[in-house]
Structure 1
Amino acid sequence: MGIPRETVARLVQENEGHDCPGHPESCVRLEAAADLPTRFGDYQVVAFWNNLDRKEHAAFVHGDIFEQEAVPVRIHSECLTGDAIGSLRCDCRDQLIESLERIGKMDAGVVLYLRQEGRGIGFTNKIRAYELQDSGYDTVQANELLGFKADERDYGIAAHMLTSLHVRSVKVMTNNPQKLADLERHGIRVVGRIPIVVPANQVNGPYLDTKRKRMGHLLAVEQPDDLVDYPNRPAPNR
């Protein structure tokens, strides 16, 4: 059981009036929703459209998250090579599967799937970055040599998706503290962090080490049962 059908219909109707194409700032519009049985449990898939990147993003909802507090949320950025092909260069697929499995066992939660390939630099530039990494540069150096920041992603899209789903507060499944700060900056109340622990494979050890040392990711050794402490803060001004 996910978000009740009558609530889904209300959300779709609520979003019909959003003038996203004419909006000067980032605007996300909820377009459609349907049931999605998976090997991880029963989910609903919700389709969103964003006016700035003009891409379709997805929310995979388990249980009823409408108007709920402390909703477990995983924000996952698209990784074609990892998610679809099983590349060993990264830990993206492992994190996605771990998130879907864990949320599928909970009463409710949501995985937001953002179309922000290559930490926001796009698929072609990600492959160019891979070429540089093959020459000895780490993932941060490769991005910078291509003229990008280490992370170009926009979490305002995720924040707007959560707002459209009427989520009141979240526990974020992440090792990246920057996600927490960015969500709060966009008006989402963060009440906890749930680490995602996946083992390194025979290839991605140096990549994970760079994420820890140069990008500030909090890579735990063991998976805690629930959230780790994260300071409760007053809801940011909207």
Structure 2
Amino acid sequence: MNIIQSNIAKLPTKYGKFKIKAYKDGSQEHLAIMSQDFELIDAPYVRIHSECLTGDTLGSLKCDCQNQLDLSLKFISEHGGLVIYHRQEGRNIGLVNKINAYALQDLGRNTIEANLELGFKEDERDYSIVGYIFEDLGIKTLKLITNNPEKLDYVKSLGVEIKERIPAITNSNKYNEGYLATKKEKMGHLL
């Protein structure tokens, strides 16, 4: 891996005051959003949040991404820790393909069927940058905020101790009920 890093900068937000650092891996740029006391915490709360432009920025109701990001930033602001903003849009199929997957979902496919029909695996994400960020920030023990068993397995594979898993449960709506059911029933998410 040939990673380019930024310096750490201050980031005041509506959730609280954070520090932020960017990592560039090839064409993808990821963020580490840290509470101000991050370095003082032995087992920080950590959320690996996968980018979702339509949810995080536009407030799409087809997913629970923005709600999970809001929940995590508020929680980290209050309890200390880190949000890794993992920029691999649409489970790493890219924005254009994600919108094409949305169009297939409009025709009745679930998220997995749409990705497969477009020629992708159900989930194309690569978490290797997360391991690099953990190493860079000295994370050996954490409390992971996730519903995704793949993220749990990946963190364990790094030899990082998970002291606790904190669910990232948010309210569903009529637009994302099928999406959440697919995540639970087909992808094993802990919902």
**TM-score band, normalised by shorter chain:** over 0.9
Q: Which amino acid aligns with 1:93?
A: Q
Are residues 1:174 and 2:149 paired?
Answer: no
1:170-191 deviation digits (Å, cap 9, x = unpaired): 1110001110111222343322
1:94-141 deviation digits (Å, cap 9, x = unpaired): 0000000111111x2000001100011111110111111111110011
Deviation at 1:207, TM superposition (A): 0.6
- Specify the SS of the correspondent of 2:9: strand
- 1:177-216 equivalences under 5 Å are 177-216=149-188
Deviation at 1:67, TM superposition (A): 7.2
Residue 97 of structure 2 aligns with which residue? Answer: 125
Contact 1:58 1:112 in 2 (8 A): yes
Closer, same or farther in 2 for the Cα pair 1:112/1:77, shift >3 Å? same
Counterpart of 1:46 (choices 21, 43, 51) is: 21
Query: In proportion to residue count, which structure has more helix?
Result: 2
| Separation in 2, partners of 1:186, 1:131 | 37
Residue 6 of structure 1 aligns with which residue? Answer: none
Runs in 1 of length 4+ with deviation above 4 angstroms?
none
Q: CA RMSD in A?
A: 1.4
- Specify the SS of the correspondent of 1:127: helix
Residue 20 of structure 1 aligns with which residue? Answer: none
With structure 2 as the length reference, what TM-score do the two structures score? Answer: 0.94
Residue 86 of structure 2 aligns with which residue? Answer: 114
Closer, same or farther in 2 for the Cα pair 1:84/1:102, shift >3 Å? same
Are residues 1:158 and 2:133 paired?
Answer: no
Contact 1:155 1:183 in 2 (8 A): no
Counterpart of 1:136 (choices 93, 100, 108) is: 108
Contact 2:41 2:81 in 1 (8 A): no
Contact 1:32 1:48 in 2 (8 A): no
Q: Structure 1 residues 66-75 or 84-93, which shifts more?
A: 66-75
Unaligned runs of at least 5 residues, structure 2 = none
Q: How many residues align?
A: 191
Unaligned runs of at least 5 residues, structure 1 = 1-25, 220-238
Contact 2:45 2:142 in 1 (8 A): yes
1:43-81 deviation digits (Å, cap 9, x = unpaired): 011111114xx2211111003333743210001111111
| Separation in 2, partners of 1:123, 1:187 | 32
Q: Which amino acid aligns with 2:177?
A: G
Are residues 1:33 and 2:8 paired?
Answer: yes
Residue 60 of structure 1 aligns with which residue? Answer: 33
Closer, same or farther in 2 for the Cα pair 1:152/1:99, shift >3 Å? same
| Separation in 2, partners of 1:216, 1:27 | 33
| Separation in 2, partners of 1:50, 1:176 | 23
| Separation in 2, partners of 1:100, 1:40 | 6
Residue 70 of structure 1 aligns with which residue? Answer: 43
1:209-234 deviation digits (Å, cap 9, x = unpaired): 11000000011xxxxxxxxxxxxxxx
- Specify the SS of the correspondent of 1:32: coil
Contact 2:140 2:159 in 1 (8 A): no
